[in-house]
Chains A and B, each alone.
Chain A
Amino acid sequence: DTGVSQNPRHKITKRGQNVTFRCDPISEHNRLYWYRQTLGQGPEFLTYFQNEAQLEKSRLLSDRFSAERPKGSFSTLEIQRTEQGDSAMYLCASSSRLASTDTQYFGPGTRLTVL
Protein backbone atom coordinates (compact mmCIF):
# COMPACT_ATOMS: atom_id res chain seq x y z
CA ASP A 1 0.00 0.00 0.00
CA THR A 2 1.64 3.25 -1.12
CA GLY A 3 -0.86 5.61 0.50
CA VAL A 4 -0.45 7.73 3.62
CA SER A 5 -0.23 5.62 6.76
CA GLN A 6 -0.73 6.64 10.37
CA ASN A 7 0.00 4.87 13.63
CA PRO A 8 -1.54 4.09 15.95
CA ARG A 9 -5.07 4.03 14.58
CA HIS A 10 -6.57 4.41 18.04
CA LYS A 11 -5.13 5.74 21.29
CA ILE A 12 -6.81 5.89 24.66
CA THR A 13 -4.95 7.75 27.36
CA LYS A 14 -5.54 9.32 30.75
CA ARG A 15 -5.56 13.06 31.20
CA GLY A 16 -2.09 14.41 31.82
CA GLN A 17 -0.26 11.72 29.86
CA ASN A 18 1.86 12.39 26.76
CA VAL A 19 1.04 10.79 23.41
CA THR A 20 2.88 10.63 20.10
CA PHE A 21 1.45 9.87 16.69
CA ARG A 22 3.32 8.95 13.54
CA CYS A 23 2.57 9.71 9.90
CA ASP A 24 4.28 8.16 6.89
CA PRO A 25 3.41 10.17 3.76
CA ILE A 26 3.42 8.99 0.17
CA SER A 27 7.11 8.54 -0.56
CA GLU A 28 7.59 11.16 -3.26
CA HIS A 29 5.50 13.82 -1.53
CA ASN A 30 7.47 16.70 -0.04
CA ARG A 31 4.51 18.43 1.64
CA LEU A 32 2.96 17.10 4.82
CA TYR A 33 0.01 18.42 6.82
CA TRP A 34 -1.56 17.66 10.19
CA TYR A 35 -5.25 18.26 10.85
CA ARG A 36 -7.60 17.74 13.76
CA GLN A 37 -11.19 16.68 13.23
CA THR A 38 -13.97 16.54 15.79
CA LEU A 39 -17.28 14.78 15.34
CA GLY A 40 -19.53 16.38 12.75
CA GLN A 41 -16.94 18.88 11.62
CA GLY A 42 -14.49 19.14 8.77
CA PRO A 43 -10.75 18.87 9.46
CA GLU A 44 -9.01 21.89 11.00
CA PHE A 45 -5.48 22.77 9.92
CA LEU A 46 -2.78 22.31 12.57
CA THR A 47 0.58 22.53 10.85
CA TYR A 48 2.42 22.18 7.54
CA PHE A 49 5.85 20.91 6.52
CA GLN A 50 7.68 21.34 3.28
CA ASN A 51 10.42 18.74 3.38
CA GLU A 52 11.82 18.97 6.93
CA ALA A 53 10.88 22.61 7.46
CA GLN A 54 7.79 23.40 9.52
CA LEU A 55 6.47 26.43 7.65
CA GLU A 56 3.28 27.18 9.53
CA LYS A 57 1.55 26.37 12.80
CA SER A 58 -2.07 27.11 13.50
CA ARG A 59 -3.08 28.97 16.65
CA LEU A 60 -4.93 25.75 17.46
CA LEU A 61 -1.53 24.20 18.12
CA SER A 62 -0.88 25.17 21.72
CA ASP A 63 2.49 24.88 23.44
CA ARG A 64 1.55 21.35 24.46
CA PHE A 65 1.64 20.28 20.82
CA SER A 66 4.83 19.73 18.84
CA ALA A 67 5.37 18.28 15.41
CA GLU A 68 8.55 17.20 13.70
CA ARG A 69 9.65 15.88 10.35
CA PRO A 70 13.32 15.27 10.98
CA LYS A 71 14.44 13.89 7.63
CA GLY A 72 11.70 15.21 5.44
CA SER A 73 10.00 11.82 5.35
CA PHE A 74 7.82 10.62 8.24
CA SER A 75 6.42 13.04 10.80
CA THR A 76 5.45 12.82 14.46
CA LEU A 77 2.88 14.81 16.39
CA GLU A 78 3.30 14.86 20.16
CA ILE A 79 0.76 16.11 22.67
CA GLN A 80 2.03 16.69 26.19
CA ARG A 81 -0.14 16.74 29.30
CA THR A 82 -3.22 15.69 27.36
CA GLU A 83 -6.60 17.22 28.20
CA GLN A 84 -10.08 15.88 27.53
CA GLY A 85 -10.52 18.59 24.90
CA ASP A 86 -7.72 16.99 22.89
CA SER A 87 -9.98 14.03 22.11
CA ALA A 88 -10.39 14.04 18.33
CA MET A 89 -9.31 12.38 15.11
CA TYR A 90 -5.83 13.50 14.05
CA LEU A 91 -5.37 13.33 10.31
CA CYS A 92 -2.18 13.52 8.30
CA ALA A 93 -2.09 14.38 4.61
CA SER A 94 0.64 14.69 2.02
CA SER A 95 0.97 16.28 -1.40
CA SER A 96 3.50 17.00 -4.09
CA ARG A 97 4.29 20.54 -5.18
CA LEU A 98 5.00 19.12 -8.60
CA ALA A 99 1.32 18.31 -9.13
CA SER A 100 -0.52 21.22 -10.67
CA THR A 101 -3.54 20.76 -8.45
CA ASP A 102 -1.54 19.68 -5.41
CA THR A 103 -4.21 17.24 -4.19
CA GLN A 104 -3.77 16.32 -0.54
CA TYR A 105 -4.00 12.59 0.15
CA PHE A 106 -5.18 11.76 3.64
CA GLY A 107 -4.19 8.97 5.94
CA PRO A 108 -6.74 6.91 7.92
CA GLY A 109 -6.24 9.07 11.00
CA THR A 110 -5.45 8.42 14.65
CA ARG A 111 -8.46 8.51 16.97
CA LEU A 112 -7.42 9.93 20.35
CA THR A 113 -9.60 9.51 23.41
CA VAL A 114 -8.52 11.27 26.59
CA LEU A 115 -10.24 9.94 29.71
Chain B
Amino acid sequence: KNQVEQSPQSLIILEGKNCTLQCNYTVSPFSNLRWYKQDTGRGPVSLTIMTFSENTKSNGRYTATLDADTKQSSLHITASQLSDSASYICVVSARNDYKLSFGAGTTVTVRA
Protein backbone atom coordinates (compact mmCIF):
# COMPACT_ATOMS: atom_id res chain seq x y z
CA LYS B 1 0.00 0.00 0.00
CA ASN B 2 1.29 3.43 -0.96
CA GLN B 3 2.38 5.49 2.01
CA VAL B 4 1.16 8.70 0.35
CA GLU B 5 -2.42 9.00 -0.87
CA GLN B 6 -3.73 11.99 -2.80
CA SER B 7 -7.21 13.15 -3.62
CA PRO B 8 -8.92 13.88 -5.84
CA GLN B 9 -7.27 11.99 -8.69
CA SER B 10 -8.19 14.80 -11.04
CA LEU B 11 -10.23 17.97 -11.12
CA ILE B 12 -11.35 20.61 -13.59
CA ILE B 13 -11.79 24.23 -12.56
CA LEU B 14 -12.57 27.48 -14.32
CA GLU B 15 -9.89 30.12 -14.65
CA GLY B 16 -9.89 32.46 -11.68
CA LYS B 17 -11.41 29.94 -9.27
CA ASN B 18 -9.72 28.38 -6.24
CA CYS B 19 -9.12 24.71 -5.52
CA THR B 20 -7.68 22.54 -2.77
CA LEU B 21 -5.79 19.28 -3.15
CA GLN B 22 -5.41 16.75 -0.34
CA CYS B 23 -2.57 14.50 0.74
CA ASN B 24 -2.61 11.87 3.51
CA TYR B 25 0.53 10.01 4.47
CA THR B 26 1.71 7.26 6.79
CA VAL B 27 5.47 7.78 6.35
CA SER B 28 7.26 7.59 9.67
CA PRO B 29 9.38 8.97 11.24
CA PHE B 30 8.39 12.11 9.38
CA SER B 31 11.03 14.54 8.15
CA ASN B 32 9.42 16.84 5.61
CA LEU B 33 6.69 17.11 3.01
CA ARG B 34 6.99 18.70 -0.41
CA TRP B 35 4.50 19.60 -3.09
CA TYR B 36 5.81 19.33 -6.63
CA LYS B 37 4.20 20.63 -9.82
CA GLN B 38 4.72 18.51 -12.93
CA ASP B 39 3.78 19.88 -16.32
CA THR B 40 2.94 17.31 -18.99
CA GLY B 41 6.14 15.76 -20.37
CA ARG B 42 8.36 17.56 -17.87
CA GLY B 43 10.08 16.70 -14.62
CA PRO B 44 8.54 17.71 -11.26
CA VAL B 45 9.40 21.15 -9.87
CA SER B 46 9.33 21.83 -6.13
CA LEU B 47 6.66 24.31 -5.00
CA THR B 48 6.87 24.15 -1.21
CA ILE B 49 8.60 22.21 1.51
CA MET B 50 7.43 21.90 5.12
CA THR B 51 9.07 20.35 8.13
CA PHE B 52 7.39 19.03 11.25
CA SER B 53 7.09 22.41 12.95
CA GLU B 54 5.62 24.29 9.99
CA ASN B 55 1.87 24.55 9.50
CA THR B 56 1.65 26.77 6.45
CA LYS B 57 3.93 27.68 3.58
CA SER B 58 3.11 29.92 0.63
CA ASN B 59 4.66 30.30 -2.78
CA GLY B 60 2.78 32.96 -4.73
CA ARG B 61 -0.74 31.71 -5.36
CA TYR B 62 0.10 28.30 -3.88
CA THR B 63 -0.43 27.73 -0.15
CA ALA B 64 0.41 24.44 1.50
CA THR B 65 -0.71 23.37 4.96
CA LEU B 66 0.53 20.56 7.15
CA ASP B 67 -1.04 18.84 10.14
CA ALA B 68 1.66 16.49 11.39
CA ASP B 69 -0.65 15.09 14.07
CA THR B 70 -3.23 13.82 11.60
CA LYS B 71 -0.61 13.31 8.87
CA GLN B 72 -2.48 15.42 6.37
CA SER B 73 -1.45 18.16 4.01
CA SER B 74 -3.30 20.32 1.53
CA LEU B 75 -2.30 22.51 -1.38
CA HIS B 76 -4.55 25.48 -2.11
CA ILE B 77 -4.39 27.23 -5.46
CA THR B 78 -5.83 30.74 -5.45
CA ALA B 79 -7.17 32.55 -8.52
CA SER B 80 -6.19 29.73 -10.86
CA GLN B 81 -4.56 30.45 -14.20
CA LEU B 82 -4.37 28.35 -17.35
CA SER B 83 -0.69 27.73 -16.59
CA ASP B 84 -1.69 25.98 -13.37
CA SER B 85 -2.86 23.01 -15.45
CA ALA B 86 -0.49 20.25 -14.35
CA SER B 87 -0.11 17.27 -12.06
CA TYR B 88 0.56 18.13 -8.40
CA ILE B 89 2.49 15.50 -6.49
CA CYS B 90 2.78 15.19 -2.72
CA VAL B 91 6.18 13.86 -1.65
CA VAL B 92 7.10 12.81 1.88
CA SER B 93 10.55 12.15 3.33
CA ALA B 94 11.30 9.98 6.32
CA ARG B 95 14.00 11.02 8.75
CA ASN B 96 17.46 9.69 7.91
CA ASP B 97 16.23 8.24 4.60
CA TYR B 98 17.13 9.74 1.25
CA LYS B 99 14.31 7.88 -0.51
CA LEU B 100 11.14 9.83 -1.13
CA SER B 101 7.58 8.52 -0.97
CA PHE B 102 5.50 9.90 -3.84
CA GLY B 103 1.77 10.21 -4.17
CA ALA B 104 0.19 9.40 -7.52
CA GLY B 105 -0.60 13.06 -8.07
CA THR B 106 -3.70 15.14 -8.70
CA THR B 107 -4.20 16.28 -12.27
CA VAL B 108 -5.56 19.82 -12.38
CA THR B 109 -7.09 21.21 -15.55
CA VAL B 110 -7.87 24.91 -15.66
CA ARG B 111 -10.32 25.98 -18.36
CA ALA B 112 -10.95 29.45 -19.69
Chain A residues with CB under 8 Å of chain B are 4, 6, 31, 33, 40-45, 48, 56, 89, 91, 93, 95, 101-109, 111
Contact = CB atoms under 8 A, between A and B. Distances in A.
28 contacts: A31-B98, A33-B98, A40-B9, A40-B104, A40-B107, A42-B89, A42-B91, A42-B102, A42-B103, A42-B104, A42-B105, A43-B89, A44-B102, A45-B99, A45-B100, A89-B41, A91-B43, A93-B43, A101-B32, A102-B98, A103-B34, A105-B46, A106-B36, A106-B45, A107-B43, A108-B42, A109-B43, A111-B41
A1 B98 CA distance: 26
B51 interface: yes
Interface of B: 4, 9, 32, 34, 36, 41-46, 49, 51, 89, 91, 93, 98-100, 102-105, 107
B34 A108 contact: no
A113 B34 CA distance: 30
A104 B44 CA distance: 10
Contact of A106 (B44, B93, B107): B44
Given A43-B44, A103-B46, A48 B98 contact: yes
A39 B7 CA distance: 17
A6 B104 CA distance: 23
Contacts of A40: 9, 104-105, 107
A43 B38 CA distance: 11
Contacts of A103: 34, 46, 49
Contact of A104 (B9, B41, B51, B100): B100
A101 B51 contact: yes
A109 B38 CA distance: 11
A96 to B, nearest CB: 12
Given A42-B89, A43-B44, A106-B43, A48 B34 contact: no
